[in-house]
Structure 1
């Protein structure tokens, strides 16, 4: 069969069409990367962190950062040139509070979700009245947050429970932020005459190095897991790390007992609100026999403590929640919500 001759004009038309297609594809890819960055595949969410929390220089964020935390198709970036194309933009409150950064309101793309982030106590969170009607989602330790990221949680684990550390002290407290107006300080003042409490930390000029913290706490039967203020769901590393991970019984001061029981078994801690006085609390702790004491660790036979340690992991949680988040939501009274 003889070949078919294609007219030159037709070949030129196909060449032009092919070039136009390539240009169109290139333009479609442009919004997905910033200057000097590699292209990001379509379907990958880009989360722009406007200012990395508590630091002047942002960390390196490899492309597989979120994949390491089990969240694929999610890219974290601090490149502000991505503002126009980011799927969500994150603002940590501390930098807004001390005015180290400003909201780019004039450059905000229509419909772009903005995420307000704070893991601090409402007592030490100021200036929220400046941000009414701006943020769409909240990332915090509050259980009713859009992106709920607690300080820690219990997860099922296999294998025998680790042995309890040997104990040679009664109670210990590690504290740096020490003010007489705090309820925890007042409670400590009332408790100390009836209970031997060793105090470490900057407040007592007995700081502990990072590697010294858990071994020191582990020598005591009880740890005073006293929060600096009492607010909804505000349960910090004082419970998860300082007490449960160390292998000691937490004596907690924070939200009501029911809130703690939503996160840990009811027999894993002692709540100060269960007693009519600090004298009664002290007598209960000192009088606890060995069988009673060990019953507070039955959770270790089934669970392990998992802490959320890095901001990378917390920010990757935005992608995990993204498909389920309300697109038309706006916090008109962020201060009223958070200060409750």
Structure 2
């Protein structure tokens, strides 16, 4: 029902027209509209949460519309913008750490009293520098860590109604996709020791076998096992190497990262192999080579009732701020971001 029709239908409603905008009080709405009409009209005029993204986290900046959270992800009451001229009106301002490096724009000099700033990072502490510059700056943090104000994992298992197990056909034993190979990294050491006992199919720029954009899952799915090795070992740092390259591809992940107990807070204990479960690379290699078909199939029991939800869209990640907003703590700043993140 339009405001004009409301006035015609209920001439007793008191209203004030100011600067071309009809202003009514909740008292008048309650007395002149039915409950369903109150709900509809109130929802139309509820101020959405305005989230300003100071700089987009990735190199490819999307052409986001203000209501993208509702249109794409069903998250209502959230308005995204990258217009810095709206800084004074924003409820939340998002600052990706990758865009806070020297040589880029610094933070705004001032902020409204009720505005909240969010520090965002999906990198591990080993690959995150310059945090000491931002003490007493941010109200909330948004990272892959479960103790973040806004928890944003790389992926998760979500319930579905499937009762089947789908294991792609296998043509080789173990594969690994690696673009940044550094001999001093723990994952490089484990790979070298393991490869002495079995063959590992290595792909990626580091081995001069780059995969096309749509070839990754098709390639890794052909292996029985995948080396889901993280570039550094930190609490909750479990990346797309597990979620996309392995579980989504339909292969069994061999993980190198935080302890097994930490992985089990994300995925079932029988869905992966941890390198720490074995006394030596030779023992791990023997376990992989001699595994029976029935034992191998047990690793896919998670597929009965679950599927992988991958978080790779930054717009979706930022929209989750609006879902978390009502329950976030107010009135504090992180005194020492580096100490918190490195703990």
Normalising by the residue count of structure 2, what TM-score does the alignment of the two structures yield?
A: 0.86
Match of 1:6?
none
Relative distance call for 1:162 and 1:295 in structure 2 (3 A) is: closer
- SS where residue 66 of structure 1 aligns? helix
Aligned positions of 1:165-314 closer than 5 A: 165-314=168-317
- SS where residue 255 of structure 2 aligns? strand
Q: Deviations over 1:112-149 (max 9, x none)?
A: 11000000111110000000000000111000000101
| Higher Rg | 1
Match of 1:75?
79
Please report how far the alpha carbon of residue 25 of structure 1 lies from its aligned counterpart in structure 2 after TM superposition.
5.4
Aligned positions of 1:19-30 closer than 5 A: 22-23=18-19
Please report how far the alpha carbon of residue 209 of structure 1 lies from its aligned counterpart in structure 2 after TM superposition.
0.8
- SS where residue 138 of structure 1 aligns? strand
For 1:140 and 1:163, the matched residues in 2 are separated by 32
324, 329, 339: which one aligns with 2:327? 324
Please report how far the alpha carbon of residue 178 of structure 1 lies from its aligned counterpart in structure 2 after TM superposition.
0.6
**Contact 1:226-1:251 at 8 Å conserved across structures:** yes
140, 146, 161: which one aligns with 1:137? 140
The root-mean-square deviation of aligned C-alpha atoms, in Å, is: 1.9
**Contact 1:58-1:78 at 8 Å conserved across structures:** no
Please report how far the alpha carbon of residue 165 of structure 1 lies from its aligned counterpart in structure 2 after TM superposition.
0.8
**Contact 1:137-1:330 at 8 Å conserved across structures:** yes
Match of 1:127?
130
- SS where residue 173 of structure 1 aligns? strand
Runs of 4+ displaced beyond 3 Å? 23-27
Normalising by the residue count of structure 1, what TM-score does the alignment of the two structures yield?
A: 0.87
Relative distance call for 1:177 and 1:26 in structure 2 (3 A) is: farther
Q: Deviations over 1:85-109 (max 9, x none)?
A: 10110000011024322101x2322
Match of 1:85?
89
Q: Deviations over 1:226-259 (max 9, x none)?
A: 0000011000000000000000000000111111
- SS where residue 18 of structure 2 aligns? helix
Runs of at least 5 residues in structure 2 that lack an aligned partner in the other structure: 1-14, 24-43
Runs of at least 5 residues in structure 1 that lack an aligned partner in the other structure: 1-17, 28-39
Q: Deviations over 1:162-214 (max 9, x none)?
A: 53111110100000011011100011011101121010000000000121111
Relative distance call for 1:98 and 1:168 in structure 2 (3 A) is: farther
Match of 1:49?
53
